[in-house]
Amino acid sequence: MEENLSRNIRREFLKFAGLGVAGAAAGVVPRAVAESPHQTSAAAPAGQPAGVLDVRSYGARGDGQTLDTPAINHAIEAAAERGGGTVYFAAGQYLCYSIHLKSNVALYLDQGAVIIAADPLPEGQPGGYDSPGPAQPWEAYQDYGHNHWRNSLIWGEDLHDISISGPGRIWGRGLVRSNDPHSKHPQEQRTEGVGNKSISLKNCHNVQLRDFQILQGGWFGILATGVDNLLIDGLTIDTNRDGMDIDCCRNVRIVNCAVNSPWDDGIVPKSSYALGYLRPTENLEIANCYVTGAYQLGAMLDGTWKKFDASVRAPQVGRIKLGTESNGGFKNITISNCTFDNCQGLALETVDGAHLEDVTITNITMRGIVSAPIFLRLGSRLRGPAGSTRTGVLRRVNISNIVCSDASSEYGCIISGVPGYAIEDLHLHHIYIQHRGGGTREQAAIMPPENENRYPGPHMFGPMPSQGFYLRHVRNVSLSEIEITALAEDARPAILLEDVQGADLFHLRTPSTAPVLEMHNTANVDALWVRGLKDGAQS
């Protein structure tokens, strides 16, 4: 009977771990795996299931003090030499520098397993994180962190069929937040020997990241560039800069994730020039995710949900944003069933020549938005090859079923192209925006600057002359079933159209104490059932 039970446990572990499938292997580890002796070759320890390699069998201590990188990389290499398998991390703290992923190899972090980014070695001392690699001719077109992948805690290039799964944790304790020669942090003034990303992947396909946690992820918790067939499912990321950047990737599913990123963006599809050529991010789905910028580092993971003291100036970014890097384009994008909590709002930005088109966004709830609940920007920063980079296109965007409460009143929703380049074919419907109010008649007279070549963001325009929606350089737009309310009286118009050609406004409800609609240099506008909330007077 005992022999049959052992055989059944082994079979279940092989089913989930040996095949690299995430999730259900947690806790189904045969005793032989946990107790197998130290190994120095690729051969499986006696009694260990074929295809499952425990890093402790290769010399890892998991004591939080011993540097376990050599043992872990040895285990990964051994799995790859066999043609693939699962590298298993039992409960423990594994202090590491750069871990090298391999094709057909899965990493499995069991409950209580933590991979910890070690502190960089003193400058000039050999070792530490892998070198970022040589500079490339196109480095000026995106930030340093986007141009290099190997200076990371876990990285892989030109790989296929890889996975990292949980429920363990990756803690980027020793990672820096940037590589800036002007930084006040000495380690950020260096490039050699320091790491700035938790996970980075370049030119890979068939990748799964499931169920684990990232704490203090460095510049990027996840940087995926040129990765196709990518699934990110069930991650919890509590970090000090970007949660995940999905750059120049195809066929991507980001689902069931939670990101707290007060100092930078939460989930960020991009299309940079980092590969040295134009490549769009396309066929991308983001669903059932939670983003916030409200909580202290680690407060989501430890369950305390501590907010920042008034003395701490955290920007509370934490949003979902397409851009800023936007050379290659965005196509076929869906964002649905997501929650924004005390952070910046939804942003779609193309300023470096990209076509951003065919986007559907629906079923979004927002609370405590600190800037613009909805921000769409077609701009002309044009950070790319001078001879070929031209202002791009932003078109065919459908945004629906949005509920936003207690938003900042400074900006409202902003949708702006630049002169000669209009945002086209935009549909916004079933949207409720509640903001704090307090806008003045003086603010209503503001003419926002164009700032065609500025870094995009609501702040680039300053306080806005409208409290609900400001649309400028837009062609063919419809707004229907929209309600705008203010918690305090606001003198600015609810909707302001500037250089809008072709607009349908249907069933809009706005505060009755302010003008409903103001238009400048605008033509072909049809408005029906546009009215104030209290008196019901049709405009």
pLDDT band per the 50, 70, 90 thresholds, residue 344:
very high
Write down the pLDDT at residue 22: 37
What single letter denotes the amino acid at residue 126? P
The rounded distance, in Å, linking the Cα atoms of 291 and 275 is: 28
35, pLDDT greater than 80: no
The rounded distance, in Å, linking the Cα atoms of 350 and 142 is: 14
Write down the pLDDT at residue 50: 63
The rounded distance, in Å, linking the Cα atoms of 168 and 156 is: 20
The rounded distance, in Å, linking the Cα atoms of 305 and 204 is: 36
DSSP collapsed to 3 states, 272-290: CCCCCCCCCEEEEEEECCE
Surface-to-core class of residue 27, CB atoms within 10 Å of its CB (0-12 exposed, 13-18 middle, 19+ buried) = exposed
Write down the pLDDT at residue 38: 40
94, pLDDT greater than 90: yes
Across 374-398, average pLDDT:
97
Does the global pTM surpass 0.85? yes
Q: Whose CA is closest to 475, among 499, 451, 449, 448?
A: 499
243, pLDDT greater than 60: yes
539, pLDDT greater than 60: no
Write down the pLDDT at residue 530: 77
Query: How does pLDDT run across 411-454, given as a tens digit for each residue?
Result: 999 999 999 999 999 999 999 999 999 999 999 999 999 999 99
Query: Who's near 481: CB < 8 A, 6+ residues apart?
Result: 429, 430, 431, 506, 507
**Are the beta carbons of 218 and 172 closer than 8 angstroms?**
yes
Percentage of the chain exceeding pLDDT 70: 89
The CA-atom distances, in angstroms, between 250 and each of 32, 45, 157, 287, 352 are 41, 39, 16, 16, 19
Write down the pLDDT at residue 49: 61
pLDDT band per the 50, 70, 90 thresholds, residue 184:
confident
Q: Omega into 69 within 30° of 0, i.e. cis?
A: no
508, pLDDT greater than 80: yes
Q: Whose CA is closest to 410, among 332, 470, 454, 473?
A: 470
- Report H helices in 260-347: none
CB atoms within 10 A of CB 527: 17
Query: How does pLDDT run across 271-294, given as a tens digit for each residue?
Result: 999 999 999 999 999 999 999 999
13, pLDDT greater than 80: no
Query: How does pLDDT run across 47-81, given as a tens digit for each residue?
Result: 456 689 999 999 999 999 999 999 999 999 999 99
b/e for 488-501, b at 16 or more Cβ within 10 A? eebbbbbbbbbbbb
Across 144-158, average pLDDT:
98
25, pLDDT greater than 50: no
Q: Whose CA is closest to 480, among 423, 517, 415, 527?
A: 527
b/e for 181-210, b at 16 or more Cβ within 10 A? eeeeeebbbbbebbbbbbbbbbbbbbbbbb
Surface-to-core class of residue 178, CB atoms within 10 Å of its CB (0-12 exposed, 13-18 middle, 19+ buried) = middle
The rounded distance, in Å, linking the Cα atoms of 279 and 353 is: 12
Question: What mean pLDDT value characterizes the chain?
Answer: 91
What single letter denotes the amino acid at residue 259? V
Across 98-103, average pLDDT:
98
**Count, residues in the chain:** 539
31, pLDDT greater than 90: no
Across 219-247, average pLDDT:
98
Q: What backbone torsions phi and psi does residue 2 show, to the nearest 5 degrees?
A: -60, -35
Q: Which two tokens stand for residue 408?
A: 């900042």
pLDDT band per the 50, 70, 90 thresholds, residue 532:
low
Query: Who's near 454: CB < 8 A, 6+ residues apart?
Result: 379, 381, 460
DSSP string, 47-77: TPPTTEEEGGGGT---EEEEE-HHHHHHHHH
Percentage of the chain exceeding pLDDT 90: 84
83, pLDDT greater than 80: yes
Query: How does pLDDT run across 292-338, given as a tens digit for each residue?
Result: 999 999 999 999 999 999 888 899 999 999 999 999 999 999 999 99
3, pLDDT greater than 60: no
Across 397-424, average pLDDT:
98
Write down the pLDDT at residue 527: 84
